[in-house]
Amino acid sequence: MILVTGGAGFIGANFILDWIAAVGEPVVNLDKLTYAGNLENLAALEGDARHIFVRDDICARATVDALLAQHRPRAIVHFAAESHVDRSIHGPGEFMRTNVEGTFTLLEAARAYWGGLAGAERENFRFLHVSTDEVYGSLGPKDPPFAETNPYEPNSPYSASKAASDHLVRAWHHTYGLPVVTTNCSNNYGPFQFPEKLIPLVMANALAGKPLPIYGDGMNVRDWLYVGDHCAAIRTVLAGGRVGETYNVGGWNEMPNLTIVKTICALLDEMKPDAGGRYERLVTFVADRPGHDRRYAIDARKIERELGWRPAETFETGIRKTVRWYLEHQDWVAHVQSGAYREWVRKNYGDRE
């Protein structure tokens, strides 16, 4: 049994589906079901006794303690986080609460639980903390990719809150001996991603004939990681990662945002042609967001060298799978595009044109 936090969100849900399929071990899924949490992501597991869902907050210490005592998991895999930079700019408070206070609460509960274990249970227990490459700051055009030894230089409220959580995890290992491992991943994409992020937002807007908003000049560079590869990496780190270590997880796919958008447009032209013309006609440059990091890139050689993991998908194969998934799951997209989502899009993009 493992305990997963945030397992109804984009990466968490993909991980649980992947875990059940690949490992078959039961999962307790603790998720608050905020705007980005969606049990439809896990519809394939409905009625499956290996998935136990609990709706609550990671800041609720009594709930976490009770779950640990009842289910006695061999590991905690911690995904739960507020994760969107734009939302952190508009309202940083919730990011501090969930990402910092929530991680602290989990660490204290895990420390108490682990302290009561003995023998092999104590030796084998792990706390795996899932984080982001954004904690390292921004790279120049010719800078080498982020390695695990890079100093932390977070530039947004989101990345600062994740950096704080990473530091807490490190401190709980070095001070208390809690057996932790941390992963810092690059930009994920794939099925079930909430359409506030670039790829699903572009998909949704293109199919609706709406503008495709691109910040600034569109040349901000990210390393893109297919979510299925990320899930495999986390399984690999949980199985063999060295206690106290950090592993960067990247896709070896550096690409400017404008190229991403044009690639999606070309795939839509192929898979679902629009009578109005090529989708690229909808590209619209809008005012950049404050403090927008120019480039991220991940050096993922450590996880390959030590654990043998390397992404299976290229960007070309992964983005094709992703576009096809969204085209085949338009009902899912329609369900998540609630009034609250539309208001968020209006608030974030309405004054940028």
Q: Which residues of 312-349 are buried (b: 16+ CB within 10 A; e: fewer)?
A: ebebeebbbebbebbeeeeebbeebeeeeeeebbeebb
Out of 86, 134, 196, 223, the active site residue is 134
The helix (run of H) or strand (run of E) holding residue 29 is strand 27-31
Q: Name the helix (H) or strand (E) containing 182.
A: strand 180-185
Closest by alpha carbon to 185, among 224, 151, 154?
A: 224
From the candidates 31, 82, 133, 293, give the one annotated as an active-site residue: 133
- Please confirm, yes or no, whether 331 is among the known catalytic residues: no
On whether the CB atoms of residues 315 and 256 are closer than 8 A, the answer is no
Nearest of 168, 161, 152 to residue 84 by alpha carbon: 161
Q: Is 82 a catalytic residue?
A: no
Say which amino acid occupies 300: A
* Cα distance between residue 249 and residue 226, in whole Å: 11
Q: Which amino acid is at 71?
A: H
Please report, for residues 81, 86, 96, 131, 163, the alpha-carbon distance to residue 101 in angstroms, rounded to integers and kept in the order given.
11, 20, 7, 15, 13
Paired sense of beta strands 180-185 and 126-132, if any = parallel
Phi/psi region, residue 119 (left: phi>0; alpha: psi -120 to 50; beta: rest), is left
Which of the residues 158, 189, 326, 349 is marked catalytic?
158
Please report the beta strands in 186-305, taking only residues with DSSP state E, as ranges in sequence order: 187-189, 212-215, 221-226, 246-249, 254-256, 283-286
* 133 catalytic residue (yes or no): yes
Cβ(16)–Cβ(4) below 8 Å: yes
SS3 5: strand
Residues classed as catalytic: 133-134, 158
